[in-house]
């Protein structure tokens, strides 16, 4: 049994090393052919996805409670999730790195809390997400609105707190009217989508709502798996060998640890394993 685990681990390590070497080589070529500014632009438009989920939320409302619990629940499920760090914000303009994170995410979860619309930063994120919905065509971002103690009609029609927030924005003399229109249009568009309502979907139970969201994200990712890059073609034969080693007659439960830097293909390898058998891997390491 120990021998089987050892051989399986070696195969996985070899695959990960190959992916890591390819990624390192690509980075070297990018650095040699472009400046850091150009490289950032290239990264945001490259093929594939950097994140599986992008979280948009107002930190003062939900950062240390609902959003934090949701973020960790997604990570526990092995879902690569982007959560903005407010400490890194500079001014009120949405920074290029954040735009790139939105553009390179498969799913956007927008947590509409009571004061979400009072934040220009949140509204800029929302406008970018709404724009991504129409730009990508078949590969468009999947948007999942969460109405956290907010009625969907408040978001859609800008009434209640959302209406008050917009009146405050309109009072500011330096506020660009065109941007206001973009924000309103984005709220209308996303507010019309079917989402999760804390009060009506989970009877006010946050833990239950988080379970429902994570399950929906998981099912969506399984339905539309991350595209496998050309560099991974031919991996199937290696995976088949792994499955033969793991699918033994022993009653012991085999455990495979996949360790390495983020973005080198650990999750993709585990989906490849899942496509070939009903065998389920335990949570991955690293």
Active site positions, annotated: 125
Task: Identify whether the C-beta of residue 223 lies closer than 8 Å to the C-beta of residue 263.
Answer: no
Q: What are phi and psi of 105, to 5 degrees?
A: -115, 145
Minimal CA–CA distance to 243: which of 283, 191, 281?
Answer: 281
Minimal CA–CA distance to 78: which of 279, 268, 273?
Answer: 268
DSSP the chain: -HHHHHHHHHHHHHHHHHHHHHHHHHHHHHHHHS-HHHHHHHHHHSSS-SEEEEEE--HHHHTTTHHHHHHHHHHHTT--EEE--GGG--SSSPPHHHHHHHHTEEEEEEEE-TTGGG-HHHHHHHHHHHHHHHHSGGGPPEEEEEESSS-HHHHHHT-HHHHHHHHHHHH-TT--HHHHHHHHHHHHHHHTS--EEHHHHSTT-HHHHHHHHHHHHHHHHHHSPPPPPGGGTTHHHHHHHHHHHHS-S-SS---------TTSSHHHHHHHHHHH-S--PPPPP-
Can you tell me which residue has the tokens 């409670």?
Answer: 65
- Facing residues of 147 across strands? 112, 197
């Amino acid at each position: 049994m120990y021998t089987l685990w050892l051989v399986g681990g070696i195969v996985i390590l070899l695959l990960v090393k190959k992916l890591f070497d390819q990624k390192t080589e690509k980075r070297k070529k990018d650095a040699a052919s472009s400046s850091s500014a150009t490289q950032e632009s290239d990264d945001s438009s490259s093929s594939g996805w950097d994140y599986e989920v992008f979280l948009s939320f107002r930190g003062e409302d939900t950062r240390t409670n609902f959003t934090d619990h949701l973020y960790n629940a997604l990570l526990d499920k092995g879902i690569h999730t982007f959560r903005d760090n407010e400490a890194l914000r500079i001014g009120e303009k949405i920074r290029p790195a954040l735009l790139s994170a939105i553009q390179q995410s498969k799913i956007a979860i927008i947590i509409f809390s009571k004061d979400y619309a009072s934040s220009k930063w949140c509204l800029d994120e929302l406008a970018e997400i709404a724009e991504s919905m129409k730009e990508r065509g078949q590969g468009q971002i999947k948007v999942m609105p969460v109405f956290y103690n907010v009625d969907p009609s408040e978001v859609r029609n800008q009434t209640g707190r959302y209406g008050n927030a917009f009146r405050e924005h309109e009072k500011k003399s330096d506020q660009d009217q065109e941007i206001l229109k973009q924000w309103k249009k984005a709220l209308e568009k996303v507010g019309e989508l079917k989402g999760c309502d804390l009060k009506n979907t989970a009877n006010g139970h946050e833990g239950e709502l988080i379970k429902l969201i994570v399950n929906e994200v998981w099912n969506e990712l399984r339905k539309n798996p991350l595209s496998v890059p050309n560099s991974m073609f031919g991996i199937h034969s290696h995976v088949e060998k792994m499955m033969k080693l793991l699918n033994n007659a022993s009653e012991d439960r085999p455990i495979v640890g996949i360790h390495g830097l983020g973005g080198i293909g650990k999750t993709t390898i585990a989906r490849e394993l899942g496509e070939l058998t009903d065998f389920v891997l335990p949570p991955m390491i690293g």
